[in-house]
Structure 1
Amino acid sequence: MTPSALYFDGLTSQRREVTLKAAETLELAQDGEILARWPWREIRRADAAPGRVRLRCRGAAELARLEFCDDAAGRAILRRCAKAGDDEDSAISTAKIVGWSMAAGLSILALAWFGMPLAADRLAPLVPQSWENRVGEMVEQQASTVFGKKTCEGAEGAAALDKLVGKLRAQAGLPPAPPPQVLASSAPNAFALPGGRVYLLRGIIDEAQSPDELAGVIAHEFAHVRHCDGLRRLIRDGGGSYLVSLLFGDITGAGAAVFATRALFGAAYSREDETAADATAIEVLRGLGRSPAPMGQLLVRVTGNDERLSLLASHPMSSDRLATMEAARVATTGPDLLDAGEFQALKAICGAGKLEQKPEKAAEKKGG
């Protein structure tokens, strides 16, 4: 008995009942006319309902199919096809899936490594000032939570600090911002939030020996604001979720919380960011007729002078920064930023005497 099957040529919707002849190839004929010859080595089993046999040919049209009305006949043909039931194509498909999956994963990594920093560099300068202020307000809430709202509010000291910050802000070309605050923390640090609000930790005021030293630290933090370093890090670290927040104007959600955590406790700014901030601080101080050298002297006292760390640090070592600031030294031609009485009032803003030295480790990590 000559086996028969239903043949679809893959080019038309016509269904043909054909007879099959096993020769050097599998011949498909209708009414004595050979419609197709399928080489045995190219015949493969195609998907079909359970218990049914359906074949295809790799050299035929993509949709060409041979469906057996008699499953026994179909299985007999299968036995002639050594590769009909093997997993060659399946293996190829699996390899393609794995390959594309790996490519997709590498693309995501490339986007995170190269794309997000590039997007952050492009987007941060375009963020409206009102949005930046809202980010700063959100981060300010986090700062209040971290430090338990332990602010120093000596009236004369606050007035002196406001005067110092006002001069630096005007010289740096930054818009008005809420008054600066001093937090009762022994960590010698300072930071400026997006929007420009300045926070000094009491430890840095205790360490300062002149208004120019404090001015250098504040000018350095203002430089990070002017360069949008905090916003760039927020966009980079917040990733796609923060980009979406930017698009819809919602910048006080999870993205701002990410920034709050990293801004206060995360890793320092990059070496390039710190170098650029130093350069801007030097420019601001020289614009006020003050030498930048005292800023470097304060940094050395606060952070030490361990040259062994210079290649490992995420920002230039203080001795390197001091050398840069010493090289930029100019004769002092501008008026004092604060007089002696104002500076002493600022030093006493948190009350008499230094805090017991128990630095908050998290606050020291930023070192910006």
Structure 2
Amino acid sequence: MANNTLEGNRRHIPRQTGRTTTLVDAIEGTLADFLAARIAALDATDPELGGFARTARDLVLAGGKRLRPTFAYWGWRGVSDEPVEPVLPALAALELMHTFALVHDDVMDESATRRGRPTAHRIFASRHGERFGTSAAILVGDLCLVWADQLLARTPIPTATLFAVRARYDRMRVEAISGQYLDVLGETSPGDWSEDRALLVARLKTASYTVQRPLQLGLALAGSDSPEIDLAYENFGALVGEAFQLRDDLLGVFGDPAVTGKPAGDDLRTGKPTTLLLLARRHAPLTLDDPERLAQEIAATGAPAQVEAMIRERVASAIAALAAAPIAAEARHALIELAVRATHRPA
């Protein structure tokens, strides 16, 4: 796995209590230190705000794959041989933005669990009711987005480099929000949706802020403006990100909730026009009022096998897109490994 590669790169990873940490350890530590200071500041204003901030912190630190900072790291390492400590704030900021997106997504999808735990709106609803839960969760997401900006700004890099990083970061945020809007819109008229539009949603909502822009943000962090590497990261990221979303589509219907940490069938319950559902509809009429029966009907159409083939094709094309890029061999190897791991996962 990519983090095993990191453990062998002792010069570049922060040390902790006499041992070499992984990148994920370093990200977790950066987030924990930053959030402790933010909580203390809000606690001093009002203890209720401190509690609010602690809930946000718990959501941020509740696990997860930390894929976004990992892709950004290897985008940076592809052209940089410098120690990683100075860029950790920028890498960790991606996890705060990710929490913002997850919390708001869970509100919109009315999801009950995330990573095997109650979602933010459920946590707050258990205290003061559903309306309060929804309102407080939206505010938690907003707070995480502000915190992401604050942490990114703490990265000790030249101003011109920070502006270049910020340009990628802002583009990523606009694309993620745009993709989420189209995702919500699709639920209002799923019969009018096309497979091409479902893939556009995947590119905007998932590929952009999971793989594509983090890679390019990492390149900018290194102070590089190589058009050749930027294009390779653009193409690789779009393909791997689409494959990542296609895997999510499959897991959303056929995944084991005990492994995914999320209820199965949420997409079917809301009628979300995923690529999987649209391919299945092309083959047979579907029963839309019973998620369990619908999952069986989708399986019978052969659409899951088609989606699996689409995933394999995208990963193969992504690897080819990266093959000639003038980046460090270690980074190329790690990114290929990440691409496979991110798109062939049980959760």
Between 1 and 2, higher relative CO (CA 8 Å, sep ≥ 6) is seen in 2
Higher strand share: 1
**What TM-score do the two structures reach when normalised by structure 2?**
0.25
Q: Which has more radius of gyration?
A: 1
TM (norm. structure 1) is 0.24
Structure with the higher helix share, 1 or 2: 2
